[in-house]
Amino acid sequence: MIFRAARLALIAEEVNCSDVIPVILKFLRDTINPWLNNKFVGNGFVYEMNWGGLVSKQSVTDQNADFGFGLFDHVHYLGHFVYGIAVLAKLDHDWGIKFRRQAYALVGSWISLGRTAKSIYTRLRCFDLYKLHTWKGSAIEECNSHHSSEHVFLYYTASLLGLAYGDDHLMGIGSTLASFEIEATKTWFHVREGEVYGEEFSKENKLVGISRPSKRETKLFYASAEQRDIRVGMNVLPLLPITEILFSDVSFVKEVVEWATPSLMRKDAEDAWIGFVYALEALYDKASPLKKIRSLKSFNEGHSLTSFLWWVHSRGERVNFWTWCRKADDECWFCANCG
């Protein structure tokens, strides 16, 4: 709910619907403040000394609580939570100043560089400096990665927090790690023929379900290999401006949509996951997915009809698309020689 509300606030600001913003900000303050003030009944944030980081109170005594948040699984929680904080800090400067220390304590739990002996956090928490992407799972059992887009989102959120506070250092570190994560996701999760994976696997799959150090799987922990719409969703959500960078290869996006579309006909296919297939389709065809999205009855947690309509209507023409360069190839020295 925090992430959904934060997205609605930014969309409202973008389309100049300012009358709804105060209501949304009040909801965000009422929801986030108890966690930052340590007044949330039954749970809250505490510092865990063995591994060095912030965890939830419940996960300290129960390793399975909050999806294993007591050790590594910050992706499910802190990314979405800090996104809400970043939006609040951007739109309510007084609130942002008041809770700046708490905001940095949270983001430091997964983005600390740990360069000095004074550092109280594990260096980069779950980021693999060899593979250049993020793992989840315990230190005892084999680690895994199955939220590729959420890993990108984790560092993107850190960058947004830096932007909200005018902190170029945090913004730069977050952006750099997000860039690494994007390239790793394109390498290990986006399946293209003739690249990383074998011919047979590449023909049958366009996205990886679970990536492990020693193998890759087509299923998810709670979805079969046949549920391709869910696999698409797990590689797309949350739907944000940076999603377009993650799926910048339009020809590959078309392949993913064509690969996943037959799965949408299943009796157990849910609108909440189907929507992400339509969202990818909107990267190259705005008219058709717009009608389909309007017909959906439900949306994945954290998303809404508003956020999906924003996504479709805000997609521009994709000619020589590079976020950092709008020039033609023959007009840009870097694109011509280093692109």
Least confident of 171-175, 214-218, 234-238: 214-218
The whole-number average pLDDT for the span 37-47 is 87
Please, how many CA atoms are within 13 Å of residue 145, restricted to the half-sphere of its CB? 26
Query: Which pLDDT score is estimated for 320?
Result: 43
pLDDT-based confidence at residue 175 (cuts at 50, 70, 90): very high
First vs last C-alpha separation in the chain: 40
The whole-number average pLDDT for the span 120-125 is 85
pLDDT-based confidence at residue 278 (cuts at 50, 70, 90): very high
Bridge-based pairing state of the strands 127-128 and 53-56:
unpaired
User: 165 CB contacts (<8 Å, ≥6 apart)?
Assistant: 89, 96, 100, 103
Euclidean distance between CA atoms 167 and 182, whole angstroms: 22
Phi and psi dihedrals of 168, rounded to 5?
Answer: -65, -30
User: 96 CB contacts (<8 Å, ≥6 apart)?
Assistant: 88, 89, 90, 103, 164, 165
* Cβ pair 107, 159 in contact under 8 A: no
The closest alpha carbon to 302, from 1, 58, 56, 43, belongs to: 1
* Preceding amide of 238 cis, omega within 30: yes
| Planar angle of CA 131, 228, 151, nearest 5 degrees | 30
Query: Which pLDDT score is estimated for 140?
Result: 47
The whole-number average pLDDT for the span 319-333 is 50
The whole-number average pLDDT for the span 243-267 is 96
- Which segments of the chain does DSSP mark as H helices, in order? 2-14, 21-36, 57-61, 78-91, 93-98, 100-111, 148-164, 168-188, 199-204, 228-234, 243-246, 250-260, 271-281, 287-294, 305-313, 333-338
Query: Which pLDDT score is estimated for 134?
Result: 87
Q: Is the pLDDT of residue 327 over 60?
A: no
Residue 221 corresponds to which amino acid?
F
Give Cα separations from 65 to 57, 59, 68, 113, 122 (angstroms): 9, 5, 6, 27, 21
Query: Which pLDDT score is estimated for 60?
Result: 76
* Cβ pair 128, 135 in contact under 8 A: yes
Q: Is the pLDDT of residue 172 over 50?
A: yes
Query: Which pLDDT score is estimated for 339?
Result: 47
Q: Is the pLDDT of residue 338 over 80?
A: no
Residues, the chain? 339
Query: Which pLDDT score is estimated for 261?
Result: 97
Radius of gyration over alpha carbons of the chain, in Å?
20
Mean pLDDT of the residues in the chain: 88
Euclidean distance between CA atoms 90 and 163, whole angstroms: 8
More confident residue, 273 or 39: 273
54, β-bridge pairs: 47
Residue 33 corresponds to which amino acid?
N
Query: Which pLDDT score is estimated for 137?
Result: 66
